[in-house]
Structure 1
Amino acid sequence: MIVGMAMTVLAALGVSAASVPPAHAAQVITDIAYAPAQPSGSKGHLLDLYLPSTGITPRPLLIWHSGSAWTSDNGKEGADEIAAVFNPLGFAVAGVSVRSSGQATFPAQVHDIKGAIRWLRANAATYQLDPNRFAIMGDSSGGWLTEMATFSGGVTALEGTVGTTGVSSNVQVGLAFYSPTDFLQMNAQNLPTGGLDHNSPASPESLLVGCPIQTCPDKVAQANPMTYVDANDPPLLFLHGQADFLVPHGQSVLLYNRIKAQCGTGTFVSVPGADHMKVQIMDPAHYGTETVRTTTGCGETVGTGTLNATWANFATFLRGGLKLGTSCEVTYSTGVWNGAFNGSVVIRNTGTTPISGWTVTWTWSGNQQITSAWNATVTQTGAQVVARDAGHNSYIGPGSSQSLGFSATATGTNDIPAQFKVNNLACTRVPA
Structure 2
Amino acid sequence: MQARIRTAKIVGMVLTMLASVGVSLAFAPPAQAAQVITDIAYAPAQPAGSRGHLLDLRLPSTGITPRPLLIWHSGSAWTSDDGKAGAEAIANIFNPLGFAVAGVSVRSSAQAIFPAQVHDIKAAIRWLRANAATYQLDPNRFAIMGNSSGGWLTEMATLSGGVTALEGTVGTTGVSSAVQTGVAFFSPTDFLQMNAQNLPTGGLNHDSPASPESLLLGCPIQTCPAQAAQANAMTYADSNDPPLMFLHGQADFLVPHGQSVLLYNRIKAQCGDATFISVPGADHILTEVMDPVHHGLQTVSTTTDCGETVGTGTLNPTWANFATFLRGGLKLGTSCEVTYATGVWDGAFNGSVTIKNTGTTPIQGWTTTWTWTGNQQITTAWNATVTQTGTQVTARDAGHNSYIGPGSSQSLGFSATATGTNGIPAQFQLNNAVCTRVPA
What TM-score, normalized to structure 2? 0.96
Q: How far apart, CA to CA, are the structure 2 residues paired with 1:67 and 1:364?
A: 45
2:21 equivalent to 1:13: no
Q: Is the 8 A contact 1:13 1:68 kept in 2?
A: yes
What is the Cα deviation at residue 16 of structure 1?
A: 2.2
State which drifts further: 22-31 or 69-78: 22-31
Q: Mark the CA change 1:429 to 1:18 in structure 2 (over 3 Å): closer, same or farther.
A: closer
Q: How far apart, CA to CA, are the structure 1 residues paired with 2:82 and 2:8?
A: 19
Q: How far apart, CA to CA, are the structure 2 residues paired with 1:144 and 1:194?
A: 22
Match of 1:232 in 2: 240
Q: Deviations over 1:235-270 (max 9, x none)?
A: 000000000000000000000000000000000000
What is the Cα deviation at residue 54 of structure 1?
A: 1.4
Match of 2:408 in 1: 400
Match of 2:363 in 1: 355
AA at the equivalent of 2:138: D
Q: How far apart, CA to CA, are the structure 2 residues paired with 1:78 and 1:25?
A: 18
2:224 equivalent to 1:212: no
Q: Is the 8 A contact 1:15 1:78 kept in 2?
A: no
AA at the equivalent of 2:220: P
Match of 1:32 in 2: 40
Q: Mark the CA change 1:326 to 1:277 in structure 2 (over 3 Å): closer, same or farther.
A: same
Q: Is the 8 A contact 2:119 2:168 kept in 1?
A: yes
Which of 299, 306, 321 lines up with 1:313 in the alignment? 321
Q: How far apart, CA to CA, are the structure 1 residues paired with 2:279 and 2:433?
A: 29
Q: How far apart, CA to CA, are the structure 1 residues paired with 2:365 and 2:11?
A: 44
Q: Is the 8 A contact 1:14 1:139 kept in 2?
A: no
2:424 equivalent to 1:416: yes
Q: Deviations over 1:301-352 (max 9, x none)?
A: 0000111010000000000000000000000000011100000000000000
Q: Mark the CA change 1:277 to 1:14 in structure 2 (over 3 Å): closer, same or farther.
A: farther
Give the alignment of 1:19-418 within 5 angstroms: 24-418=32-426
Q: Is the 8 A contact 1:15 1:66 kept in 2?
A: no
AA at the equivalent of 1:296: T
AA at the equivalent of 2:358: T
Q: Deviations over 1:392-429 (max 9, x none)?
A: 00000000000000000001100000000000000000
SS at match of 1:67: coil
What is the Cα deviation at residue 3 of structure 1?
A: 5.9
Q: How far apart, CA to CA, are the structure 2 residues paired with 1:166 and 1:8?
A: 42
Q: How far apart, CA to CA, are the structure 1 residues paired with 2:173 and 2:21?
A: 32
AA at the equivalent of 1:235: P
Q: Is the 8 A contact 1:11 1:67 kept in 2?
A: no
Q: How far apart, CA to CA, are the structure 1 residues paired with 2:73 and 2:38?
A: 15
Q: How many residues align?
A: 430
Q: How far apart, CA to CA, are the structure 1 residues paired with 2:80 and 2:11?
A: 11
SS at match of 1:126: coil
Q: How far apart, CA to CA, are the structure 1 residues paired with 2:168 and 2:76?
A: 22
Q: CA RMSD in A?
A: 1.5
What TM-score, normalized to structure 1? 0.98
Q: Is the 8 A contact 1:137 1:176 kept in 2?
A: yes
Q: Is the 8 A contact 2:21 2:74 kept in 1?
A: no
Q: How far apart, CA to CA, are the structure 2 residues paired with 1:107 and 1:241?
A: 27
Q: How far apart, CA to CA, are the structure 2 residues paired with 1:307 and 1:269?
A: 8
What is the Cα deviation at residue 43 of structure 1?
A: 0.2
SS at match of 2:34: strand
SS at match of 1:181: coil
Q: How far apart, CA to CA, are the structure 1 residues paired with 2:176 and 2:323?
A: 24
Q: How far apart, CA to CA, are the structure 1 residues paired with 2:280 and 2:252?
A: 10
AA at the equivalent of 1:332: Y
Q: Deviations over 1:368-403 (max 9, x none)?
A: 000000000000000000000000000000000000
Match of 2:27 in 1: none
Match of 2:26 in 1: none
Q: How far apart, CA to CA, are the structure 2 residues paired with 1:24 and 1:15?
A: 25
Q: Is the 8 A contact 1:182 1:221 kept in 2?
A: yes
Which consecutive residues of structure 1, in runs of 5 or more, have no partner in the other structure?
A: none
AA at the equivalent of 1:13: M
